[in-house]
Amino acid sequence: MLHLSTAWRHRPTHRRVWALATPMILSNLSVPLMVLVDSAVVGHLPHAHQLAAVAVGGSLYTLLVWSMGFLRMGTTGFAAQASGRGDGAALRQILWQGLLLAGALALLLGLCALPFKQALLYLMQPSAELNSLATDFFHIRLLGLPAALANYALIGWFLGTQNARAPLAILLVTNLINILLDLLFILGFSWGVPGAAWASVIAEYSGALLGLCLTRPALRRYQGRADWQALRQWRNWHPLLSVNRDIFIRSLALQLVFLGLTIQGTRLGDATVAANALLLNGLLLTAHALDGLAHALEALSGHAIGARKRLQLWRVLVVAGGWSLLISLTFGLFFLGAGHLFIQMQTDIAEVRQAAFAYLPYLAALPLIAVWSYLLDGLFIGATRAREMRNAMLGAFLLAMPLAWSLQPLGNHGLWLAFLAFMLLRGVCLGLIALRLQRADAWFGDPRQA
């Protein structure tokens, strides 16, 4: 295997990684920017329960949508490998499969959403004011579910074809519209918390329409036609659905951890759940920046595996890993030194600020702990190694849950310590599996036979 320093000095790989990562980092950062604007605008309304309602209602919607993250991740891996083979017909099939699956899942989730919401709010035991506003926010956000899931499929497909400009356009348009409508609906029209929800719904549909328009010029690079008959045959759906099943289980476990943070925080009071939401915005900011490099790794590793180029795969992993570590260190130092300003920017409610300040050290530690799981996720997605991703996530989840239970007497400190332990275990479990695959030279084999 090529030495680390030799791989790191390969300048063409740096150029390839950053050609994909730069637009993805810029577009990804628009997502936490949108959330920060939501928090900043709602956080300057008079009451803590208004900010908490966006956090609670948003977490319910996020659990539904982000659990469907396989629509992006599974599509990316298969599209990247088809692109590496130069298979235009397969690329068209993957695109249509992703969009059809997004529509079917949006319908299914819409039917399940109301009983799901009632059960989780019962577990959270929110105040009456918080319960009412969070319910209104959640119901409005559900209207944007079809567009949100279609965006997942579209962005994943574009990334797989190493087209980072289209996801940049989709995410920037979506989030800039959301920000502008937030300001208009909340500050201009005084719609309050429901205004934030309507802004998100309109923005999601705007992004989906743009993404659909961009698929046509993107397909001109690849010769081939869509095989409509193939879409009616189960054997052509089985590989994608098998990978998506495992990524779904993985994503659901991850979202249950974030939901657990919200549930336990809600039981500790409106100010605590609001403070935790502001702190998690810092993690969101870090994660979306690092995901730009992880997305580049997904596309480039999938392309290298499809083309069966071992040296190229190693170089991409080393370069993306090195830059991910540097970026995570930068974020950690930022939250350690300027975390108070980060919180003050989001709210002027004194009790929420004071609650958040106490937990800033945990936020500063998170980037360096979480970076490894983000990076390795990118490698496993590019390799369509969804089963291994699932197993690593479930292993971390099962190991962290007893720890979380034992730390409950420490209140919110215990909650954050358990979360840090979970993120560390994610990286360790993925790393051990990656090492096993590397020693067996299994990255280029059939994932279903591993």
What is the rounded distance in angstroms from the CA atom of residue 35 to the CA atom of residue 250? 24
Of the candidates 356, 360, 372, 366, the residue with the CA atom closest to the CA atom of residue 332: 366
What is the rounded distance in angstroms from the CA atom of residue 63 to the CA atom of residue 444? 33
Of the candidates 17, 3, 11, the residue with the CA atom closest to the CA atom of residue 304: 17
What is the rounded distance in angstroms from the CA atom of residue 303 to the CA atom of residue 159? 11
CA angle 423, 424, 428 (to 5 degrees): 120
- How many other C-beta atoms lie within 10 A of the C-beta of residue 435? 10
- Domain containing residue 114: 4-449
What is the per-residue pLDDT across 139-168, written as a single tens digit (0 to 9) for each?
898 999 999 999 989 998 998 888 888 988
If one compares 326 and 34, the residue with the highest pLDDT of the two is 326
pLDDT the model gives residue 60: 78
Q: What are phi and psi of 25, to 5 degrees?
A: -65, -45
If one compares 164 and 340, the residue with the highest pLDDT of the two is 340
Task: Check if the beta carbon of residue 79 is closer than 8 Å to that of residue 67.
Answer: no
What is the rounded distance in angstroms from the CA atom of residue 221 to the CA atom of residue 343? 46
| Distance (Å) of CA 236 to CA 51, 94, 422, 440, 445 | 46, 10, 36, 29, 20
> What is the rounded average pLDDT for all residues in the chain?
85
Q: What is the dihedral of CA 178, 179, 183, 189, to 10 degrees?
A: 0
What is the rounded distance in angstroms from the CA atom of residue 332 to the CA atom of residue 363? 8
Task: Pull the structure tokens for residue 297.
Answer: 């790794």
| Distance (Å) of CA 386 to CA 101, 203, 389 | 18, 30, 5
CA angle 369, 390, 168 (to 5 degrees): 65
Residue 450 confidence class, pLDDT cut points 50, 70, 90:
very low
Asked whether residue 389 carries a pLDDT value surpassing 60, the answer given is: yes
How many residues in the chain?
450
Task: Pull the structure tokens for residue 30.
Answer: 């628009």
pLDDT the model gives residue 333: 96
135 conformational bin, left if phi > 0, alpha if psi -120 to 50, beta if neither: alpha
Give the percent of the chain with pLDDT over 90: 33
pLDDT the model gives residue 449: 45
Q: Please name the residue that has the structure tokens 């999938």.
A: 302
Burial bucket for residue 222 (CB in 10 Å: 0-12, 13-18, 19+)? middle
Q: Which of 145-149, 296-300, 334-338 has the lowest mean pLDDT?
A: 296-300
What is the per-residue pLDDT across 16-56, written as a single tens digit (0 to 9) for each?
999 888 887 876 666 656 666 666 777 666 666 777 777 77
Mean pLDDT confidence for 237-246: 77
Domain total of the chain = 1
Give the percent of the chain with pLDDT over 70: 92
Secondary structure (DSSP) of 295-333: HHHHHHHHHHHHHT-HHHHHHHHHHHHHHHHHHHHHHHH
H-type alpha helices, 43-144? 48-66, 70-85, 88-124, 128-142
